[in-house]
Amino acid sequence: MLDILKQNKKSWDKVASHFNGKDALPSYGPYTQTEDELSLFDDITSKKVLDIGCGSGHSLLYMKEMGASELWGVDLSETQIETAKETLKGLNANLSCSPMEEDIGLPKDYFDIVYSIYAIGWTTDLSSTLRLIHSYLKTGGSIIFSWDHPLYPHMKSEDGQIYLDGSYQQEGITTYPNFKGEDAPVVIPKRKLSTYINEVIKAGFTIESVIESNVSAAFDSVKEEVSDRYYSLYKARKFPTTMVIKARK
């Protein structure tokens, strides 16, 4: 686990610039309906919020614009945290460079909202991460997270023909040697949709919503072209790119 975290940290530090402002609220993910369309968050006004895998800090900036009173964020990458500091300059955000798997003494029973946009799937230990998140939340507080729909990485396209690659049944890890086309190997855990749902329940939450994304209305007038890219409108119109789960303590 430690080796995976060390490797992923190194690679995230290297590719961070590709992600400045990407996959940030109100977006939940590529081609996915936005928060404006899904309205999953409770009223954010005067709420204490914690972002797990806060990246460049743009989702926290959105939270500030929506009236959050306290902004907290955790991210594995030093470079991402430095960028987030820049994004949130003057806003008094509490940012920690740390793996989400680790208890670094963040306040317990404190947050109204904990969320994670396209980051939670990186955890090497989903159950302890969710248990930690549960401990950070006040009773009645909510968690919302988005990640690749677990079937999505298996859906490959070749000349527009979509087929299942590998086994959805088999959980484990996948190593990608060239993240974002760089010499930056990353290891990403592979889990089934039911694993995410069951781990959320086991951590003590009550699930309120499970979304298998559809294409955002922003793409209604965009002509669909056959594309074999990992993320494409062509694929997104056929099956969900993203899952979003909302649960309450």
Ligand X SMILES: C[S@@+](CC[C@H](N)C(=O)[O-])C[C@H]1O[C@@H](n2cnc3c(N)ncnc32)[C@H](O)[C@@H]1O
- The CB-of-140 to ligand X minimum distance in angstroms stands at 24
Q: Which is nearer to ligand X, 174 or 206 (CB)?
A: 174
- The CB-of-149 to ligand X minimum distance in angstroms stands at 15
Report how far residue 115's alpha carbon sits from residue 107's, in angstroms, rounded to the nearest whole number: 15
Q: Which is nearer to ligand X, 77 or 232 (CB)?
A: 77
Phi and psi based region of residue 67 (left: phi greater than 0; alpha: psi -120 to 50; beta: remaining): left
Q: At a CB cut-off of 8 Å and minimum separation 6, what does 237 contact?
A: 215, 224
Q: Which is nearer to ligand X, 14 or 156 (CB)?
A: 14
Q: Which is nearer to ligand X, 8 or 242 (CB)?
A: 8
Report how far residue 166's alpha carbon sits from residue 155's, in angstroms, rounded to the nearest whole number: 9
Q: Which is nearer to ligand X, 33 or 59 (CB)?
A: 59
Alpha helices by DSSP H, 203-247: 233-236
- The CB-of-105 to ligand X minimum distance in angstroms stands at 16
- The CB-of-32 to ligand X minimum distance in angstroms stands at 13
- The CB-of-214 to ligand X minimum distance in angstroms stands at 21
> Could you give the angle at which helices 2-15 and 78-87 cross, rounded to 10 degrees?
50
- The CB-of-165 to ligand X minimum distance in angstroms stands at 22
Secondary structure of residue 152 in the 3-state scheme: helix
- The CB-of-176 to ligand X minimum distance in angstroms stands at 13
Find out whether 133 and 114 touch, Cβ atoms under 8 Å.
yes
Report how far residue 180's alpha carbon sits from residue 91's, in angstroms, rounded to the nearest whole number: 31
Q: Which is nearer to ligand X, 179 or 205 (CB)?
A: 179
Token representation of residue 30 = 């590529």
Q: Which of 20, 33, 1, 3 has its CA nearest to residue 180?
A: 20
Find out whether 50 and 73 touch, Cβ atoms under 8 Å.
yes
Question: In the complex, which residue's CB is closest to ligand X?
Answer: 55
Q: Which is nearer to ligand X, 119 or 130 (CB)?
A: 119
**Residues within the interface to ligand X (CB under 6 A):** 5, 8, 12, 19, 23-24, 53-56, 58-59, 74-77, 80, 99-101, 117-119, 122-123
